[in-house]
Structure formats: structure tokens, C-alpha cells
């Protein structure tokens, strides 16, 4: 048996050493729970509780494509504004924003999240919505980049 040397390391470097060039695709989580634009905010709160999450992707009622995101903070603001969560649609309180592409850098995601005070950011590709990146994942990646 002969050994062939290619000069290329066959193993992936640890994430920390790749973090400077990492993209949101490297740290995103697949979306697990969605809600429709015309679902009540109370239903969104219920889904969040039972999914163990603080954010749901809101799908457009006609296309089924992502229209925005509703977070626990959005629901809290609606309640503080005196809205009845059983009478208000998720689409009325959701945060609309363009999703970042899978090729967006971790730093670019951090800049968007910081500028707009987001804790969650949808990630989209050619096939539509692919996942969500949250502030914890972004911070971990950036801390790893500083250590690497």
C-alpha cells in the first residue's frame, strides 16, 4: 500500500481558527417553528413557549415565504401598548427585515444586529429561508475569532 501526499490537510481546522472568514451559514440554526401573518399574537406566544424559543419566523399568508420575525420583545411591546393578543395578528407586530444571505460574514451580521437592536436574524439562500442566527452564536463566533 502506498501513501499519497497531496499537501492539503484533510481535516477541517477548528471553528475558532476559521471564525474570521466564517459566514452566518456556519453558525445558523434551522428554523423549527413558524407562524402565519394572520395568526393571533396569542398563538405566537403559545408556540414560543412550547417550542422553547423567543422568536418565530412569520410566513406570508399567500406565498408561504418569510415576511418577518416575531419575538418575545414584539409581543411584550404589543401588550405594553394595550393591544389584546387575542385580537392582533402576528403580522401587525412582527419585525420586517430582509434576511441576510448565507454568504454574509459573522461581522456583517453583528453590525446589522447591533445597528437595528436585533437578537435574531433570518438567513436565506436560493431555496428561501434556511435558518436563523442569534446574537449568542454571533458573539461566540466573534470571541473565537479574537482568540484564534
Sign of CA dihedral 90, 94, 99, 104: negative
Q: Which has the higher per-residue pLDDT, 103 or 131?
A: 103
Backbone angles phi and psi of 13, in degrees to 5: -65, 155
To the nearest whole number, what is the mean pLDDT of the chain? 83
What's the farthest any 2 CA atoms get from each other in the chain? 76
Per-residue pLDDT reduced to its tens digit, 51-102 = 998 999 998 888 877 788 999 999 999 999 999 999 999 999 998 876 899 9
As a whole-number percent, the residues of the chain with pLDDT over 90 amount to: 54
Look at strands 128-134 and 120-125 and give their pairing: antiparallel
- Residue 55's DSSP bridge partners are 71
Amino acid at each position: 500500500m502506498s501513501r499519497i501526499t497531496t499537501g492539503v490537510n484533510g481535516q477541517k481546522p477548528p471553528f475558532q481558527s476559521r471564525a474570521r472568514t466564517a459566514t452566518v451559514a456556519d453558525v445558523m440554526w434551522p428554523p423549527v417553528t413558524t407562524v402565519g401573518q394572520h395568526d393571533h399574537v396569542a398563538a405566537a406566544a403559545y408556540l414560543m413557549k412550547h417550542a422553547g424559543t423567543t422568536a418565530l419566523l412569520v410566513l406570508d399568508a399567500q406565498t408561504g415565504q418569510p415576511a418577518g420575525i416575531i419575538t418575545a420583545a414584539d409581543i411584550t411591546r404589543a401588550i405594553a401598548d394595550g393591544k389584546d393578543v387575542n385580537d392582533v395578528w402576528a403580522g401587525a407586530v412582527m419585525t420586517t427585515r430582509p434576511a441576510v444571505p448565507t454568504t454574509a460574514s459573522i461581522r456583517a451580521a453583528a453590525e446589522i444586529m447591533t445597528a437595528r437592536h436585533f437578537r435574531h436574524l433570518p438567513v436565506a439562500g436560493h431555496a428561501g429561508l434556511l435558518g436563523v442566527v442569534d446574537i449568542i452564536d454571533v458573539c461566540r463566533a466573534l470571541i473565537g475569532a479574537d482568540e484564534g
